[in-house]
Amino acid sequence: MGHALRSTATGFANFLRDHARWLRRLQWIIVAFYLFLLIVPALLPLPDRSASVFNNLTIFAQFAFWGVWWPFVLLSMPLLGRAWCGWFCPEGMLSEWASEHGQGRAIPKWMRWGGWPFVAFALTTIYGQLVSVYQYPLAVLAVLGGSTAAAMVVGWRYGRNKRVWCKYLCPVNGVFQLLAKLAPWHYKVSEAAWRHPERRTEAINCAPLVPLRHMKGAADCHMCGRCSDYRGAIQLTPRSPETEVVHVETGDHWQTALIVFGLMGLAVGAFLWSASPWFVTLKQAQATWLVEHDIYWPLAQNAPWFILTHYPDANDTFSWLDAEVILVFIFGAALFVGGAVYLGLWLASRCLTGAPPASAAPVVRDASGAPLQVRVGLDRLAQALIPAAGVGVFLGLSATTLTLLQHEGMSTSWALGVRFTFLGLALAWSVRLLWRVSGTGGCGVVRRLSAVGLASLGVVPFCLAWVLFFAVW
């Protein structure tokens, strides 16, 4: 069974490699569809209350982008790796195409900064909330269209036939990297075969700039198949979905920031503020204080649509006070929810760091089978929370899906059970990963149980936030 699965995977990867032109044509079709849904609805009048997915292009585009596209792109990452990036992504395709016809300049040092995945995700998330990106086509054009334009400019200016934008600046690159670590597939590299190739092979172009010889996991690979069987050393191979987190990935502080304060903090605030009675209470309290002190400019609703939501015809406009309270709510979630998660991980790491190895501790090995000495610190433990963090973002995005389905008159009474099932399974998987990762340092059972318990306690506010969103508010 295992041999048949590996043979099928190899055959599929070779098919992708040998039919790259077909894949490029498919990508151009997706680009055309993407640009149509991005641009045309922004030129049309806003839909009225009777509009639906079936009779209004704007509502259809909204459902396509936020009801289907983005939630299920996220879901595809732990199932297929970054296949979306390599097979379908219009932004990556346009960036690579621009790079093929561009200046080919060297990638500047500032662009290689490791914090861009977190910063780009945070800025895009916050800006999207301020302009109501899930509701209005002009906001979609500003957020997605602006990102696509920037991707093409970066591609035209830097690199040669590369996806420089995807590698360093894409707002969701960091999220995709994290989720792809859970994929049950990866392109495995044989160092021995690389050093002694069975046959000569022409040089290949790895558009996402992955160092192929030293590739250990699926985080950066776009699964495009171009490197399949290169030098007889690279094969698409099935693996355990836990392999990369437990045996390969050590994590770093920027990935920890993205998991803890990004996906489990900022994103929670971005999804929850519009449903929270706390938001209304805070806004009313501040508005009352401003009026009592004759300060009226924060109540003005005069910002243009590309800075704050401003659609008077739809009776939907944000004041400067709205913007301030939204920011307070989002950053408050990052501080209290993300901070609790971070504290739990820090305490867990203190239990494990510097602990003497258990007498019967197993020998930990990497993906190639070599002995591996691992320091189980905070950054490494944070990798175990990828399932919980990823499911949180998926559930938040799918809330738009459910809202649109309700607007079409469909029953969503089943949603609550499905939501809690997804969340519960993800949390259980994260706890299992915490246990396995804690064991890679050779600590005893008591220390490992303490570490898992402390890290799990840190996740409690994250769980409570979703309970409030799903069942209370």
- Give the domain-ending residue among 134, 152, 179: 179
Residues 9 and 136 in one domain: yes
- Give the domain-ending residue among 140, 160, 179: 179
Number of domains the chain is built from: 2
pLDDT of residue 198: 74
Residues 83 and 168 in one domain: yes
Q: Is residue 184 part of a domain?
A: no
Q: Any residues with CB less than 8 A from the CB of 332 and at least 6 apart, and which? A: 269
Q: Is residue 256 part of a domain?
A: yes
Q: Is residue 62 part of a domain?
A: yes
Residues 48 and 133 in one domain: yes
Per-residue exposure over 331-357, b if at least 16 CB sit within 10 Å of its own CB, e if not: bebbeebbbbbbebbebbbebbbebee
306-355 confidence digits (pLDDT tens) = 999 999 999 999 999 999 999 999 999 999 999 999 999 999 999 998 65
Residues of the chain with pLDDT under 50: 357-364, 367, 370-373
Paired with 371 in beta bridges are 365
Q: Any residues with CB less than 8 A from the CB of 26 and at least 6 apart, and which? A: 87, 88
Q: Is residue 242 part of a domain?
A: no
Residues 251 and 380 in one domain: yes
Distance CA 89, CA 83 (A): 9
Residues 175 and 254 in one domain: no
pLDDT of residue 359: 41
pLDDT of residue 200: 61
Residues 324 and 430 in one domain: yes
pLDDT of residue 361: 44
Q: Is residue 200 part of a domain?
A: no
- Give the domain-ending residue among 122, 150, 179: 179
Q: Is residue 194 part of a domain?
A: no
Residues 434 and 288 in one domain: yes
Other CB atoms within a 10 A radius of the CB of residue 199 amount to 7
Q: Is residue 337 part of a domain?
A: yes
Residues 145 and 251 in one domain: no
Joined tokens for residue 133: 């990106």
Q: Is residue 112 part of a domain?
A: yes
Residues 148 and 273 in one domain: no
pLDDT of residue 463: 97
Measured at the CA of 416, the angle between CA 415 and CA 421, to 5 degrees, comes to: 95
Half-sphere exposure of 273 (CA within 13 A, CB side): 26
Question: Domain range holding 257?
Answer: 247-472
Q: Any residues with CB less than 8 A from the CB of 34 and at least 6 apart, and which? A: 90
Residues 57 and 151 in one domain: yes
